[in-house]
Structure 1
């Protein structure tokens, strides 16, 4: 194939992928299935792998190509990103309208553009003319302190609704130059927020309080691959000149139209009106939409439409005079606390859930709300029988915010259980934490999600052991779940119950074909396929089994460290906390969690069963040396041929340790291209610095 022909194919594939990404992530009108899209992407990846000289930074394959950041560089904004003054009622809004008209000459007509006030974090995107046909995303900045933001470009590139390149044709259609700045809001949709919190809970991490905090925390994550896994959306709402920060077009309404033509996602809920009455009508129309949008809004932003009028009105010390934010009232209601149920999640966390007299809040009838943990119950001073304030705001999940003291008080104290409400095991609370947990791996309340997790790819990899199959194995056929369930993993979904085939993880390995064929939509072939997958999982290495047992704080990395150190399950089960702390990278919190898990009689019995059934539970054998034993390395920058993961594996296989930060105890810093602050710190501390070639020389004795 000629080079010209390859270039044409690469260009065509990129254009197709960019077109379909725009349809999917911006317009919400996909034309391809996921499989068809993946097929196009894989063809492009293959061509770029064969012809690496054709890879460009704006290729769709490079969205998640950024290296982990050592930190975020501070960059001054072209124009301050100021906050807005707030209006909380119609009177405030009309007073602002009077001030606007008073700041303009004579009886000059004023039009207002009204937009949804998205509850996320602001970003400034800088586009610059590229060497090829069009304009390319050069930089993405957070709001920061309003004057100076943080350069989060590598993370911004992973957001699919942000175009990496805008073609000359689109620029022409939008009436835009090659260089300009776009400002907008980055949000995390409700579905992505709930999914992320489920994953956090499964990993033993604290859940994020609301989508706004989750979006802000995600965009400041130092690893672009993590950012890419959480679906963030970006809505453009402002268009500025590249230099000087002046408004690029003659009006805000023109800017929004141009942004849409350029391929940016612009929120469809927008209107330009010629009076404050029109503004109020827009507010009244949009507020009821809050529960159906799929993302958080907390008000309406109103801007004077004409750029010339904006310039004349100017700014106060902290906000523009030509814009204001109308803030919605919190969606709240008052109802009676009828009782408290205690739900057990997959990781064993016990959550008190308030059972309420039904109350209509923000378009939904709320019957339950979270009380979070025992400390929150004490803080609120709430008792059963109290009348309580309930909110549905940015936290998505309804929550109790206080007791209505003017109403009659309840008399029944809320008593947090000492034992698991599902299995009776003693609950455990780690030092410094507020949550109580059941650590019995066979607890029936945990079992459904435990089984799904156990069979997942990357854990025991039992294909066919999905949600529907697990439900049938547990004898459950689910009905519809109430919208107000606290979390998917902790929801008490209505079910039709049959005699379960599985009551513990060990029971998976006792299933027969006859039992499986008796289930709905399971034939002889699919039953045998599942049994083969289950049998194959017996050979899974110890690290996978440890991950599958769902021990809190034990993720993939920790499981591998424990497996490598102990070699088999028996010595790990008998290890003391002091012995666990001796494992590389294992601290006292993780050591205590692992020790407590294996101290439980139920968990000891489960492991014994698994061994008797035939699970090997041995560490994978790796050829290692001690050539780097006792040495600590820090990796920074991009190495010529090795990825960080491969470099880390090589160092650890040779007995070395890889740390994330430089200190006086660091023996070597391995520095590649674009090495950051870690290199500077190494030089200031006198730590030895080597490149990839130097690392390979040190590893010479580690070759298999």
Structure 2
């Protein structure tokens, strides 16, 4: 029971992290299907120990709000959609609607099927037919005011036309960017900054949230509406969502024409397959279809859960795939010493995004699939995010007599023996600052904003100092002299003096930030605060015992072992004691 609860908490944190990446940063690291799998896994664990209460993060919709934009409250909450990816789940959804209609003596349900745009949710407010407001989904209750950017989106009418327009009307839809524009803009970004957006949704989101509408205008965004959030009473109230869309179209609002009224699962699946075939020929990205109960009365009776409407669901398409070959396999060393195998690929494009490499995860995964240089592999970008290998051409492997690449025994960076002290599937180099690959990443983390931040000491300067063998551990940063910095490219005399000054005044910090800076496995910001609050000072912390550590909040046997393993290593103790001689600690 206790072990399952730990797994639930860990899974909760993971899901919250991916929600933040997706909605707030517009930089998802996993696909929608993988996210849905995490939710399913959580549900299974909860049922296992009889937890029925919904976790609070599942009640959160959308993202954190940008501090740069003003906020506005939605007239009605802006919910997201529950996603499915199989016919079985579709049948279950339809069956629930039919059962509900029978119990409530309602007409046999009809279903309006539409495209699921891979874009950014937008709410528009019209008063007396005139556009007066526009906001992002935000957290579902409050969104970011983006009216300044919406005014420059050509497909959004500034004034509605026709009859029977409500005095106050809230329209919901998606902002998208066409495939051609996405490729053009990405190429432009690559030429100017060497950077690019991973998918069209991220680019649309970033463009909609710009402070300067001139930039937004250049991005050539488009908009399609799919529903009404709030309205004052109509003179002629349609009781059909399908007819609602026709009405929106008659007012001059952009509604995409590819939609269908369906009466059973067979017809819905037929529409799904039809759209899937047309997907590649569309000018914009979609990732599935949306199925809505057509009757407005039935929608109102079915209502909503805390996050989703009960009368609508998104039926997602499977991942997109391309075949390419493995040119080489490299073994990268992470900040924590993790050895990560990465396959270099013959470049292949999926929806305008060039795929050059893919992670092979760990030793167990490599041994399971026996990856070889020269392998023909099928690459998938699930949800247009992180690429992964989903299939290997075994016949090609046999035909060309390809041999599997073995996982290294020694660290490719410092040549020390690779070990596994944590009982997981990952092998690590435990050399720490002695390993060049770890050293660079550890120092970048050490002087990051949540740790021992020094203004002016950025990633590029740290990399140059490591490359030139000027710094080997954090203490070397505090011993830097002018002569150490003058030979670094693009750092002038004024910048050098400023940096040395910032280093000299940076020697006051909290114990928790000091501890977090070392990047010890499983010792994040929260655990660092708990440790510093419990032990009060660095001397007590350095002399901590296993049994005492278990008394600290959020510390179990594994975390305690990791912490002791780090602080009892002679090299780490030397660095810590050298630093505390020059540091002054203040309260957390």
Range of TM-score over shorter length: 0.5 to 0.7
Note the C-alpha offset of 1:412.
Answer: 3.2
Change (3 A) 1:126 1:83: farther
Note the C-alpha offset of 1:465.
Answer: 0.7
Note the C-alpha offset of 1:507.
Answer: 1.6
Does residue 1:354 correspond to 2:343, yes or no?
yes
Does residue 1:251 correspond to 2:282, yes or no?
no
Relative contact order (alpha carbons < 8 A, sep ≥ 6): 1 or 2 greater?
2
Does residue 1:462 correspond to 2:422, yes or no?
no
2:70, 2:122 → 1: CA distance?
21
Alignment of 1:52-201 (within 5 A): 63=71, 117-118=117-118, 154-155=139-140, 157-158=142-143, 173-174=159-160, 177-178=166-167, 180=169, 182-184=171-173
What is aligned with 2:514? 545
Change (3 A) 1:402 1:77: closer
Query: Equivalent residue of 1:394, what SS?
Result: helix
Note the C-alpha offset of 1:433.
Answer: 4.0
What is aligned with 2:407? 416
What is aligned with 1:490? none
1:234, 1:433 → 2: CA distance?
47
**Is contact 1:159–1:234 with CA below 8 Å preserved after alignment?**
no
Q: CA RMSD in A?
A: 5.6
Does residue 1:434 correspond to 2:416, yes or no?
no
**Is contact 1:428–1:437 with CA below 8 Å preserved after alignment?**
yes
What is aligned with 1:240? 228
2:478, 2:78 → 1: CA distance?
60
Note the C-alpha offset of 1:238.
Answer: 0.7
Does residue 1:451 correspond to 2:443, yes or no?
yes
**Is contact 1:119–1:212 with CA below 8 Å preserved after alignment?**
yes
Q: TM-score, normalised on structure 2? A: 0.54
What is aligned with 2:287? 298
What is aligned with 1:615? 583
Change (3 A) 1:340 1:518: closer
What is aligned with 2:323? 333
**Is contact 2:419–2:429 with CA below 8 Å preserved after alignment?**
yes
**Is contact 2:119–2:201 with CA below 8 Å preserved after alignment?**
no
What is aligned with 1:516? 485
What is aligned with 1:71? none
1:405, 1:416 → 2: CA distance?
20
What is aligned with 1:495? none
Note the C-alpha offset of 1:513.
Answer: 1.2
What is aligned with 1:643? none
Note the C-alpha offset of 1:439.
Answer: 4.6
- Residue 526 of structure 1 is aligned with which of 492, 495, 501? 495
1:61, 1:173 → 2: CA distance?
24
Deviations along 1:383-441, one digit per CA (max 9) or x if unpaired, are 45543322334253332212212223355344333543323455555657433344544
2:444, 2:82 → 1: CA distance?
46
Change (3 A) 1:615 1:391: same
What is aligned with 1:599? 568
Deviations along 1:64-106, one digit per CA (max 9) or x if unpaired, are 999xxxxxxxx9999x9898999xxxxxxxxxxxxxxxxxxxx
Change (3 A) 1:404 1:61: closer
2:561, 2:405 → 1: CA distance?
29
2:143, 2:428 → 1: CA distance?
36
Deviations along 1:187-225, one digit per CA (max 9) or x if unpaired, are 99xxxxxxxxxxxxxxxxxxxxx99999xxxxxxxxxxx
Q: TM-score, normalised on structure 1? A: 0.46
Change (3 A) 1:594 1:408: same
**Where does structure 1 lack aligned partners over 5 or more consecutive residues?**
1-24, 26-56, 67-74, 87-112, 141-152, 189-209, 215-232, 260-265, 291-296, 309-322, 476-498, 623-704
Change (3 A) 1:134 1:609: same
Note the C-alpha offset of 1:154.
Answer: 4.1
Change (3 A) 1:326 1:593: closer
2:117, 2:522 → 1: CA distance?
38
Query: Equivalent residue of 2:396, what SS?
Result: coil
Note the C-alpha offset of 1:280.
Answer: 11
**Is contact 2:320–2:380 with CA below 8 Å preserved after alignment?**
yes
Does residue 1:394 correspond to 2:383, yes or no?
yes
Does residue 1:503 correspond to 2:472, yes or no?
yes
What is aligned with 2:536? 567
2:340, 2:506 → 1: CA distance?
33
How many residues end up aligned between the 2 structures?
409
Change (3 A) 1:541 1:440: farther
What is aligned with 1:590? 559
1:333, 1:258 → 2: CA distance?
41
**Is contact 1:369–1:399 with CA below 8 Å preserved after alignment?**
yes
2:367, 2:251 → 1: CA distance?
49
Change (3 A) 1:324 1:591: closer
- Residue 357 of structure 2 is aligned with which of 338, 345, 368? 368
